[in-house]
Amino acid sequence: AQTVTQSQPEMSVQEAETVTLSCTYDTSESDYYLFWYKQPPSRQMILVIRQEAYKQQNATENRFSVNFQKAAKSFSLKISDSQLGDAAMYFCAYLWTGTASKLTFGTGTRLQVTL
Amino acid sequence: NAGVTQTPKFRVLKTGQSMTLLCAQDMNHEYMYWYRQDPGMGLRLIHYSVGEGTTAKGEVPDGYNVSRLKKQNFLLGLESAAPSQTSVYFCASSWGPKSYEQYFGPGTRLTVT
């Protein structure tokens, strides 16, 4: 079974600084996707960024970028120029492109942004 | 488009009571999912459906039943609620095969006393 591990329960960053959230996963599959979801206090799950395993290039979305190390099974999220609105729970998730596209989530990292 | 909606948003049940959570999507998505979110455990898949009239078990299906009689609706039932089912429940949907983005509803907070 696939597993996703987020070893940082909480992180803190100052406004305008850069922070990196870590995620590792375990799978024997070769064709899969990795995601970072943001969950603010409103509870809504918001997709931040997506990485296809077959792509070597790291995904970027504005201030958000990933460091995807396929051999090491590592998928970290870098947030640049942190803003107060970035404060939230962040979940790493894995999806195998096989049956039913089911997501497996990590336990989450709570990010605090301070002035 | 309303996207994915969930009814109700909050509910308090007594142990042994039953209830049904409704998920509706207006995007004509083929796949639908029910997750539960507990503190420190992330989201875990309860049941899912790959099309109208089909359902399948996820990671934590015990104590729940589901039905997908209409493509746009996915119902999650608790026949005899237990305190261990106190959680936040999320519904999600996606287009189907080869489409990997799931769209989430706002969640339902359920407390079983």
pLDDT digits (tens, 9 = 90+) for A2-16: 899 999 999 999 999
* Closest residue to A43, CB basis, from B33, B88, B97: B88
pLDDT of A38: 97
From residue A59, how far is each of A50, A65, A66, A78, B100 by CA, in Å? 7, 6, 6, 11, 15
With beta carbons under 8 A apart, name residues in chain B contacting A43: 88, 106-107
Residue A44, amino acid: Q
pLDDT of B69: 95
B10-47 in b/e form (b: 16+ CB < 10 A) is: ebebeeeeebebebbbeeebbbbbbbbbeeeebbbbbb
With beta carbons under 8 A apart, name residues in chain A contacting B56: 100
pLDDT tens digits, one per residue of B64-85? 999 999 999 999 999 999 999 9
Residue B92, amino acid: A
pLDDT along chain A (115 residues), means of 10: 92 98 94 94 94 93 96 97 97 86 92 96
With beta carbons under 8 A apart, name residues in chain B contacting A47: 101
pLDDT tens digits, one per residue of B4-53? 999 999 999 999 999 999 999 999 999 999 999 998 888 999 999 999 99
Say yes or no to pLDDT of B1 above 80.
Answer: no
* Closest residue to B102, CB basis, from A9, A97, A103: A103
